[in-house]
Structure 1
Amino acid sequence: MERPLNCLNNLAENDWLIGYNSRKFNQIAQELYLELTQLSAYGILPKIILAEREPVRFLASFIAACAANCPVFLCNPDWVTQEWQQVFDLVKPDIIWGELPHSPTPPLPHSPTLSTQHGLNAPLPLTALIMIPTGGSSGQIKFAIHTWETLIASVQGFTEYFQLKQVNSFCVLPLYHVSGLMQFMRSFTTGGKLAILPFKAVETGKIFKIKQSEFLISLVPTQLQRLLQNPELTEWLTQFNTVLLGGAPAWNELLEKARFHRIRLAPTYGMTETASQIATLKPDDFLSGKISSGQILPHAKVTIRNQQGEILNSNQIGNITIQTQSLAKGYYPITRENQADFQVDDLGFLDEQGHLNIVGRNSDKIITGGENIYPVEIESAIQATQMVADICVIGIPDKHWGQALTAIYVPKKPNTSALKMQTLLKDKLSKFKIPKYWIPQQNLPRNSQGKINHQQLQQIAREFLQNRIT
């Protein structure tokens, strides 16, 4: 397995960073590595917060920290003061790389050891740990604890699945997030090329001249939707070898539109805890009409279990349980040792071909009048009316029904009628699946990966109902 410094040396003479200076990357990484090794000579392994805004400096700093075996926390420089306070209280960093315009005064340097949960867990040394943020959309930031080895396991599973020796990536996603970081890791460790460009630049047509057929690009559904609204960018997207799609559920209308334009889409399923995807539908299967999250990658195993933990047969819906070499070691500062099974909140089934199909999140399940409802089905039906630009269905407390279905949506046109949408849905959904409340908004609270902030949606719904009452 190639270590960070070996990969760095292998790429020393290559012009592998498109749009940026590859030599500058190498120089910054070497300089920071030397600084950190000088500290380690004195027995100091500083905890590093990495929030560099400039891509080359972010990635070079990341490699330097990994090479020097220093624990590094990847952070979003745009977090607000409250979020930074959470991070400082949790991490107590020794070094901060990057400018944090919204941060409170950082705490004094401090070096605690990792704590453990009684019975189930064992301590990990604080060295060589890579902390990747997750859970920000819920208002509470957590860090999944990864290592170089867990990230490499993900890369190896990916390259084996797609039968690639080198991975050329076109990255428009945040590098501090697992979806952006793993694009870098695939290119950096396989000797491939990496193009980095903010998505806003792509939207305005400021794109690098590359041979797309040799590159993979990763998008979230809202990004794909926006690119498909522009004929030139749609044509540009059709030239890519593979367009990986993840981060949030994609709706049927979006998938059909991508298939109509012959975009080589590869819907994926994965999460921060598994170092990105553990299931992916290959583009040829997608273009042939298959709808699923695809087969399980070689480094992972998925079972579907009932509430008693028993493994279910094909096409039976249950809780998704994952075993993978790329699994995080816990959430900082709690570590887990030899965690065999990782049960996620998602419900799904494996079909006869071994393809993973996602039904919805267990925690998103809405119970109204004794009926179990999964928002994904209703959101897809509403998207199919082509009257909304964005949609999220939630349940709000109701004294008669337990929960009342509520659609919070962004209308495509100012005069969009909720009544007309309800009429169109009557032939598509059972009566109890048609939302009771319809709340139009100018935009929905989503993070950069397209994930909804459900706390904010509940607040929007509460204020809407209060205004109706008053």
Structure 2
Amino acid sequence: MKQPLDYLQNFKNHAWLIGDDSQEFYQIATELYFQLIELSKKAIPPKIILAEREPVRFLASFIAACAAKCPVFLCNPDWGKNEWEQVFNLVQPDIVWGLETGDWGLGTGNNNLSAISNSIMIPTGGSSGKIKFAIHTWETLTASVQGFIEYFQLNAVNSFCVLPLYHVSGLMQFMRSFITGGKLVITSFKEIESQRIPNINHSDFCISLVPTQLQKLLQKPELTTWLSQFETVLLGGAPAWEELLEKARFHHIRLAPTYGMTETASQIVTLKPDDFLNGKNNSGQILPHAQVTIDNLTGNILIKAKSLALGYYPQLWENPNNFLVDDIGFLDAEGYLHIIGRSSNKIISGGENIYPIEVESAIRKTNLIIDVCVIGIPDKHWGQALTAIYIPKNPNTSILEIETHLKDKLSKFKIPKHWISLPNLPRNAQGKINHPELQKIAEDFLAHSSHNS
């Protein structure tokens, strides 16, 4: 298998970064690689925290660390004090790149063997308040790229990246372009919203979005037209709602809804754009590097994949070949995966099992709200009381009006008992709800309401 240094040499005189300096990438990566090799001669390879804000420097540092076989921890420079305390206590780094430490920040790590050699640690679980690092390797990330190009029958992948590079969704866009010799555009979503867009042939590029980003783009006709030019618009990070998918289909967006996670190095199931445009609404078929089965008893999804992580730092999984996830779903006769919900999100109210995704979908279809999340709040009578936290399209919309729309769409026990209107919902950069924060908001609101009444 080709290693990072082999690919790096291929890019020596190749202008593959659109809008950025490809030569700068090569020079930084080469310089840092040799510095790391020198450091590694004196001791075992140093543990590196990578929190560079500047994209070219982030990617060059990443490749240097991988080439020198140093354990590297990808980090969000915008984490707060609490998150950084967690990370430094867990990692105890030898080197810190970024965090205003200068080009070459040396930490005070205890350079021990607890970091798995030649590993890439990708953060996950930040929305729950507790950060974990999935342990990947160059081989697991490469397997993900291989599965992607086989599935889409591509030789080179040109990527248009608006997602964070420290997150698996941004990193894998870089990996696909780097390994296949494709082109890469890196910009921010704010730049796109402001219509400061690089002049490229978009039909040669793939772009990855999360549902909230797609929703914002479809609200502006000129950006909708722009998005329709892409060959493939990968959509992941959080479940998409039916109204959003229908709107994308109406505007002939070549959407590819995906199913995957940090632990699988991005998607392992994807719906191809032609299937989407022909009316299919599911997560698609399984990529060649993965196997997906359904647990007969629980309905939970079981994953085997060449791209599967080895564990959560610093522990390796005892049985890494069978990864049972929280998601519940089924495979239809044609091998398409349908996600029903998450077992941990299941709400039991009055003895009835309720999956929030079904209730949220029905509420969205009323066209009276902008965003919604359904959760269960502890309740003496019901066990859990179904609670909808939502952003109304019109502040004057009454709860009774929403409930009236739902009466013939949902069973009575699936209609929320509490409704809380907010100006916005706490979501992270990938569009995922911060459930602990939302739970606290709802419980505080309901306690205050009951106190006042």
> Aligned ranges for residues 339-378 of structure 1 at < 5 Å?
339-378=320-359
> Aligned ranges for residues 235-314 of structure 1 at < 5 Å?
235-307=225-297
Q: Which residue of 2 aligns with 1:408?
A: 389
Contact 1:171–1:196 under 8 Å retained in 2: yes
> Aligned ranges for residues 27-176 of structure 1 at < 5 Å?
27-99=27-99, 108-114=108-114, 126-176=116-166
Q: Which residue of 2 aligns with 1:197?
A: 187
Contact 2:96–2:107 under 8 Å retained in 1: no
Q: CA deviation at 1:463?
A: 1.0
182 and 438 in structure 1: CA distance in 2 versus 1, 3 angstrom threshold: same
Q: CA deviation at 1:338?
A: 5.3
Q: Read off the aligned partner of 2:162 and give its amino acid letter.
A: V
Q: How many residues align?
A: 448
**How many angstroms apart in 1 are the aligned matches of 2:325 and 2:404?**
36
Q: Which residue of 2 aligns with 1:11?
A: 11
- After superposition, the C-alpha distances for 1:152-205 in whole angstroms (9 at most, x for unaligned) are 000000000000000000000000000000000000000000000100110111
Q: Which residue of 2 aligns with 1:391?
A: 372
Over the residues paired in the alignment, what is the CA RMSD in angstroms? 1.4
Q: CA deviation at 1:414?
A: 2.2
Q: Which residue of 1 aligns with 2:427?
A: 446
Q: Which residue of 2 aligns with 1:23?
A: 23
Q: Read off the aligned partner of 2:390 and give its amino acid letter.
A: Y
Equivalent residue of 2:164, what SS?
coil
Q: Read off the aligned partner of 1:382 and give its amino acid letter.
A: I
Structure 1 residue runs of 5 or longer lacking an equivalent are 115-124, 309-317
Q: CA deviation at 1:113?
A: 2.3
Q: Read off the aligned partner of 2:348 and give its amino acid letter.
A: I
> Aligned ranges for residues 223-242 of structure 1 at < 5 Å?
223-242=213-232
Equivalent residue of 2:196, what SS?
coil
Equivalent residue of 1:66, what SS?
helix
**How many angstroms apart in 2 are the aligned matches of 1:376 and 1:285?**
23
Q: CA deviation at 1:100?
A: 5.5
Q: Read off the aligned partner of 1:390 and give its amino acid letter.
A: D
Contact 2:327–2:340 under 8 Å retained in 1: yes
Contact 1:157–1:299 under 8 Å retained in 2: yes
Contact 1:133–1:177 under 8 Å retained in 2: yes
**Residue identity (%):** 69
**How many angstroms apart in 2 are the aligned matches of 1:158 and 1:31?**
31
Equivalent residue of 1:363, what SS?
helix
The TM-score with structure 2 as length reference comes to 0.97
Q: Read off the aligned partner of 1:231 and give its amino acid letter.
A: P
- After superposition, the C-alpha distances for 1:255-312 in whole angstroms (9 at most, x for unaligned) are 000000010000000000000000000000000001110000000001101337xxxx
Q: Read off the aligned partner of 1:259 and give its amino acid letter.
A: R
The TM-score with structure 1 as length reference comes to 0.94
Contact 2:116–2:314 under 8 Å retained in 1: no
Q: CA deviation at 1:44?
A: 3.4
**How many angstroms apart in 2 are the aligned matches of 1:364 and 1:338?**
25
**How many angstroms apart in 1 are the aligned matches of 2:376 and 2:254?**
35
Contact 1:348–1:360 under 8 Å retained in 2: yes
Q: Read off the aligned partner of 1:184 and give its amino acid letter.
A: F
- Detail structure 1 runs of 4+ shifted over 6 Å in the superposition: none
